Chain A
Amino acid sequence: MTGLTPTLSSLRHRPGRAVLTALGLALGIATIVALLAVSAGANQTAGKFVHLGRSDLGLFQKDAADPTTSVLPESLIAQLRRQRWVADAMGLQLLVEEVSRAPGAIVFGAPAGSFETSRMVFSAGRMFGGGDEIVLGDQLAPALHAHVGDLVRVGRRRMRVVGIYHLGVSEQDSGAFVPLSAAQALSGHAQEVTSIVVKLAPGVRPAAARRLIAARFPGLLVIDDPDEALRAGANGQLISNVTLVIVVLALLIGGISVMNTMLLSVIERRTEFALLSAVGWSGPQVANLVLTEGVIVSVLGAAAGIVLGSLGANLLIRALGAQAFVSPDISAWVLGRALLIGILIGVLGGLYPAWRAAHVSPARALAQQ
């Protein structure tokens, strides 16, 4: 017999209760995993927007719902270029869910010859020139069965494919580029852009540039670190906050659920704990037995929740309508946090029942039989 034997045999003896408690926890943990994965995915996506091309900073409108809904005046680009600490700046107009047959593809409106578009390697055709021309990423073109010379519908316009490019960034290779003016016309934001990406002059530190921009151009959100990129979108921030609230709720509800189950178990097994006490088990030894049981149920629930949550993250993104630009990021860190929450639920929920079990009076419990 090992120290875990009484705990495991008790769980085996009441499998229905253990499974139902674990299942309840699994649903809570699954929600947490899905939200953490979506939150991390949104962060990653925002990070990629910030570092489109080889820029040092990404500028967004403060308090935009998400990076794609930011609106900045195009005139700001010229003002930024005049700053001696700026090497170059360009505007980007992002269009989502505009490509028919590929709603997940992002269309980037950018000026031809900018530092972003100059990095493109063309496997077919050339860079766009006129207003109705489009170049497709080498992941999007096969998905649309499109070739150079074909027409592709973007929003209400039909645009001719003039080139197929590769950039090495999945969001861009699975999307398309059009002239900035065409994107502005499609979005109805003439003389406006979604974001401005900035290359700093040699030797200028991003932190210093951030301070200068904040002082010179109030109302801009400046991001220089992909980890901070979630700040660029209120939706992303909202997901992050909702995740935190749900984690706290899961701790409370899961903890109460485990406590309720364990309390029932302690009441049912009062004689058992009295007997253990009579044969010399100390209060902490009995408490440890109950606590271990709670933690095992919670860890099993957390493990099932991790599997469910990993599967459910994609469903959640679809439900949020964010599949166009967010992919769930199910990392070891996300899974580790979920498991830690599961263990915390077991410990928190098991504390009071463990205390009760440790304080069962053996004389009274045995006399009542």
Chain B
Amino acid sequence: MTQGPQSPSRSATGASVSVAGVSHAYGDVEVLHDVNFAVQPGELVALTGPSGSGKSTLLHLMGALDRPTQGRILVADVDVGELRRPAVFRRTSVGFVFQLHYLLPTLTVQQNVELPMAAARVPRHERAARARALLEEVGLWGRGRALPSELSGGERQRVALARALANQPPLILADEPTGSLDSAAADSVWRLLEDLRRRRGTTVVVASHDRSLIPHADRSLQLVEGRLSEVSAVQPRPCTAER
């Protein structure tokens, strides 16, 4: 896989994340105020808070989709606000899962999973093999030729998770990944995230307004009106990466 010079080095235990004094504004409206926290490699952290509290913005900043107005975010010691080529960072170091999954409706399930690998110019045969393996990993073996419209909501979100894992990133950022799913499908996605953290040692940060999901995480952070108001350890779960 192509890895840009600005990308954090790949690690079996995931990437560390350090958010220091981060503020962000859209025009005159400040949505994040001096946010500080750190995530250890391989941790599964829940970022909770009501709608509009700045969770998605914080994830976008951590994934180099935007630059903070103030402060620094380090992912595996790389300042993501100073990247010259953020696309290279996004394709190699981070995997996004969104609430609305954003699968391209005109592409098949397997082609959707291959998209990040196509960006990284992974050879075609390797892309196909890796996409099939990922679909098997998320329990969708044999559905590669289906279109997203032929899948249930939970299945689509699992495809989105497979797509996020396509380039084996050390950090997964999930924005309300279970927000539009029923409880059974939501449980299935959470199990996958926990399993991913346990087997691959990938660092996972999940934003959700639903505090009932906190027990799935190692630690929870609460954002209220753009400020970090509560940091709590849920339960000590040491990371045991199997890779």
Contact = CB atoms under 8 A, between A and B. Distances in A.
Nearest to A5: B111
A1 B96 contact: no
A282 interface: yes
Interface stretch (B8-16, B97-105, B232-240): B97-105
A1 B127 contact: yes
27 contacts: A1-B127, A1-B128, A2-B124, A5-B107, A5-B111, A13-B106, A278-B63, A278-B90, A278-B102, A279-B91, A279-B96, A279-B116, A279-B166, A280-B91, A280-B92, A280-B116, A280-B120, A280-B167, A281-B87, A281-B115, A285-B87, A285-B119, A363-B57, A366-B65, A366-B102, A367-B57, A367-B60
A316 interface: no
A366 B118 CA distance: 21
Interface in A270-308: 271-272, 275-283, 285
A271 B103 CA distance: 10
A118 B61 CA distance: 91
Interface in A1-27: 1-3, 5-6, 9-10, 12-13
B104 A6 contact: yes
A6 B106 CA distance: 8
Interface string A188-231: 00000000000000000000000000000000000000000000
Contacts of B88: 280, 282
A2 B92 CA distance: 20
B60 A1 contact: no
A269 to B, nearest CB: 9
B127 A275 contact: no
B124 A279 contact: no
Interface string A232-276: 000000000000000000000000000000000000000110011
Top 8 A-B pairs ranked by shortest CB distance? Answer: A280-B91, A9-B106, A363-B66, A282-B87, A280-B119, A13-B106, A363-B65, A279-B116
Nearest to B113: A1
Given A1-B107, A10-B106, A12-B106, A277 B100 contact: no
B220 to A, nearest CB: 23
B90 A275 contact: no
B114 interface: yes
Interface in B135-183: 163, 166-167
Contacts of A362: 60, 65
B191 interface: no
A79 interface: no
A366 to B, nearest CB: 7
Nearest to B120: A280
The B contact surface, by secondary structure, is helix
B65 A278 contact: yes
Given A282-B119, A283-B87, A363-B65, A13 B105 contact: yes
B110 interface: yes
Given A1-B127, A285-B119, A277 B87 contact: yes
B203 interface: no
Nearest to A361: B66
B110 to A, nearest CB: 7
B211 interface: no
Nearest to B96: A278
Nearest to B107: A9
Interface in B55-104: 56-57, 60, 63, 65-66, 85, 87-88, 90-92, 96, 98, 100, 102, 104
Interface string B23-57: 00000000000000000000000000000000011
A282 B166 CA distance: 17
Interface string A349-368: 00000000000011100110
A271 B102 contact: yes
B32 to A, nearest CB: 13
A314 B56 CA distance: 64
B106 A1 contact: no
Given A5-B107, A6-B106, A277-B65, 14 more contacts: A1-B107, A1-B111, A1-B127, A6-B107, A6-B111, A12-B106, A272-B102, A275-B104, A279-B115, A280-B88, A280-B120, A282-B88, A366-B65, A367-B57
A282 B84 CA distance: 12
A105 to B, nearest CB: 59
B217 to A, nearest CB: 23
Contacts of A277: 65, 87, 90
A280 B90 contact: yes
Contacts of A366: 60, 65, 98, 102
B106 A276 contact: no
Nearest to B116: A279
Contacts of A283: 87
A277 B63 CA distance: 11
A57 to B, nearest CB: 63
Contacts of A279: 90-91, 96, 115-116, 119, 163, 166
Contacts of B87: 277, 280-283, 285
Contacts of A361: 66
Nearest to A279: B116
A14 B52 CA distance: 35
